[in-house]
Amino acid sequence: MVDEGTTPGRRRGPALPWLAAALCLLPVPLYAVVRGFGGVAPAVLLYLAVATLMAVVAVVGVRRLPRDRRRPWALLAASQGLFLTAEVAFIVAFTGVDVGHRLVPEILFLSGYAVLLAGVLALVRQPTGRSGRAALLDAAIVTLSCAAVLGTFFVAPLLADSDMPLQDRIVAGLYPLADIGIVYVLARTVLLPGHRAPAAHLLLAGLGVLVVADVASYLERLAGSGGPSTWAATGWLLSRGLISVAICCSSAVRLPAPPTAERPTGLTTRRLLVLALAAALPSGLSAALGLLGHRAHPVLLGCAALVLVLLVSLRTNDLLGQLRQQAAQLAVQARTDALTGLANRRTWDFHVARASAAARVDGTPLAVALLDLDHFKRFNDSFGHDAGDDLLREAAVAWTAALGRGVTLARWGGEEFAVLLPGLDAERAAVHLSAVHEAVPRGQTCSIGVTVLADGEEPADAMRRADEALYAAKHAGRACTVVAAVPSSSPDREAVTR
């Protein structure tokens, strides 16, 4: 049975995104032409008609989504409706009709931005771990840099304009703040590692176009323009069209993306260049304005520069932590066997050299042994290589527990393992290794060759002797331990029962 909360929506045919693109994007250049050459009234009517069509397409796209995936996209569609309602209210108020309050269109516009941000944030994959923290810091650096520019050139002049009523100044200053929020979402999404679906690309493109169109309108307002230019209005329309197409895209059902395995977030050349420019922008802007004889809000730019220094310091510390973590991981990988987690041959050579030197100084015995899983090839052929790998891992865990503290167990190669037993002669080591026979997992057996280092003998010679003892154990019927005599003793070997 299918849970009611996750009932699939209507099937999305491959033609739906293309139809949405045709309905939402093709009229945009037509509007630009009419706006430029056809007069104000036809352009306004066409704008409202196209914006209405985009809102309808967005609603249709949301309804065709599974119910458990609708909420973020429904917020985006609702923002389309709020923007359209605000524009209708603005046009109605412009014609002299009372809409209740002169700020009603502005409040509707700002509500549309708030709902849009809520929908986008619900779609953005939440960052986790070190890579997520790095992406958040990078996004904060880029966002603060853009906020410093918008605050210096747009927000601060608006708030300082005494000719405007206070509430008008506050409302006008909220638009750049909404754009700063969108910039943060864009930066966080783009800088977060991972694959993005086509619907996400369309959505990000729509948000980017919206910010560019808003900045164009701010520049026109500073220049004393009476209203938005063709470029700004066309940008707003294109932004809505891209968002509506994103809602109808078949990959929209995959958003928000489920959490993925963490991947390191390094500083590529392009990423480093973006962060460097962003970090230097407030200070560079302040210096440029000073050279030109303008002192536009130096306190604002100075505070932004200080906060950016703090963010860059945090990002640098994060990178250093990442480097330390990677260095520790590489050190572990260099010392351990990747499959079993035991010491590898390099680590074994280090331990046996140190133990042999200590044994010579202290005059204590030092036993070495080689272990081999019996019929391992047959086990692999019967149960598969994955089961063989599992057997090796389980044997490593079981033998480590059976051998106890003070004994070094290493992966020698293939199904062979090496054991270093300080303070034990060959016979006592063989008794100690009897626990290994009992701990072989999955009902398997093992063969063991053991010997003790002679005075002044190199560890490699003792390992060759242990290897010969191991092969003797194989020939003796397996599942047993053979003790190899030291060179000064009898060359005979004694088999020790399992």
pLDDT digits (tens, 9 = 90+) for 23-38: 899 999 999 999 888 7
Burial 252-270 (b: 16+ CB within 10 A, else e): bbbbeeeeeeeeebeeeee
Please indicate, yes or no, whether residues 417 and 300 belong to a single structural domain of this protein.
Answer: no
Which of 119-123, 203-207, 308-312, 494-498 is most confident? 203-207
The pLDDT value given to residue 299 = 74
Domain count, the chain: 2
| Residue 4 lies inside a defined structural domain of this protein | no
Q: Which residue has the tokens 């990423």?
A: 271
| Residue 6 lies inside a defined structural domain of this protein | no
Does the bond joining 198 to the residue before it have cis omega, within 30 degrees of 0?
no
| Residue 333 lies inside a defined structural domain of this protein | no
Cα(217)–Cα(229) distance, integer angstroms: 7
Is the CB of residue 151 less than 8 Å from the CB of residue 176?
Answer: yes
**Closest to 443 in 3D by CA, of 468, 479, 412, 413:** 479
Please indicate, yes or no, whether residues 307 and 182 belong to a single structural domain of this protein.
Answer: yes
**Residue range 162-183, pLDDT digits in tens:** 777 778 778 888 888 899 999 9
Average pLDDT value for residue range 131-149: 83
| Residue 339 lies inside a defined structural domain of this protein | no
Cα(265)–Cα(319) distance, integer angstroms: 9
Question: Picking from 203-207, 239-243, 373-377, 452-456, which range would have the lowest pLDDT averaged per residue?
Answer: 452-456
Is the model more confident about 222 or about 361? 361
The pLDDT value given to residue 293 = 64
The pLDDT value given to residue 392 = 95
Please indicate, yes or no, whether residues 318 and 353 belong to a single structural domain of this protein.
Answer: no
Please indicate, yes or no, whether residues 277 and 196 belong to a single structural domain of this protein.
Answer: yes
Q: Is the pLDDT of residue 1 over 50?
A: no
> Amino acid identity of 413?
G
Question: Which CATH number covers residue 396?
Answer: 3.30.70.270
Q: Is the pLDDT of residue 237 over 90?
A: yes
| Residue 151 lies inside a defined structural domain of this protein | yes
- Any idea how long the chain is? 498
Please indicate, yes or no, whether residues 81 and 212 belong to a single structural domain of this protein.
Answer: yes
Q: What share of the chain is helix, strand, coil (3-state, %, to 5)?
A: 70, 10, 25
| Residue 340 lies inside a defined structural domain of this protein | no
Is the CB of residue 394 less than 8 Å from the CB of residue 402?
Answer: no
Domain that holds residue 160: 11-256+263-327
Q: Which of 276, 300, 327 is the last residue of a domain?
A: 327
Is the CB of residue 123 less than 8 Å from the CB of residue 255?
Answer: yes
Please indicate, yes or no, whether residues 317 and 359 belong to a single structural domain of this protein.
Answer: no
| Residue 52 lies inside a defined structural domain of this protein | yes
Q: What are phi and psi of 432, to 5 degrees?
A: -60, -35
Is the CB of residue 244 less than 8 Å from the CB of residue 61?
Answer: yes
The pLDDT value given to residue 76 = 94
Chain centre distance of CA 384: 34
How many other CB atoms are there within 10 angstroms of residue 13's CB atom? 11
Q: What are phi and psi of 91, to 5 degrees?
A: -65, -40
Cα(274)–Cα(74) distance, integer angstroms: 33
What angle (nearest 5°) sits at the alpha carbon of residue 161, between those of residues 157 and 167? Answer: 105
The pLDDT value given to residue 290 = 67
Please indicate, yes or no, whether residues 29 and 126 belong to a single structural domain of this protein.
Answer: yes
- What is the chain's mean pLDDT, rounded? 84
Please indicate, yes or no, whether residues 482 and 421 belong to a single structural domain of this protein.
Answer: yes
DSSP tag of 343: B
Q: Which residue has the tokens 């895209």?
A: 249
Average pLDDT value for residue range 47-55: 94
pTM over 0.75: no
DSSP tag of 463: H
| Residue 334 lies inside a defined structural domain of this protein | no
Please indicate, yes or no, whether residues 355 and 319 belong to a single structural domain of this protein.
Answer: no
**Residue range 346-405, pLDDT digits in tens:** 899 999 999 999 999 999 999 999 999 999 999 999 999 999 999 999 999 999 999 999
Please indicate, yes or no, whether residues 289 and 434 belong to a single structural domain of this protein.
Answer: no
> SS3 for 474?
helix
Please indicate, yes or no, whether residues 361 and 312 belong to a single structural domain of this protein.
Answer: no
Strand order in the sheet with 481-484: 408-413, 416-422, 366-373, 446-452, 481-484, 493-496
**Residue range 302-336, pLDDT digits in tens:** 787 788 888 888 888 888 887 888 888 888 778 89
The pLDDT value given to residue 127 = 59
**Closest to 257 in 3D by CA, of 178, 201, 179:** 201
**Residue range 458-490, pLDDT digits in tens:** 999 999 999 999 999 999 999 999 999 887 544
> Amino acid identity of 21?
A
Average pLDDT value for residue range 435-445: 94
Average pLDDT value for residue range 78-101: 81
Please indicate, yes or no, whether residues 278 and 357 belong to a single structural domain of this protein.
Answer: no
Is the CB of residue 365 less than 8 Å from the CB of residue 452?
Answer: yes
The pLDDT value given to residue 296 = 62
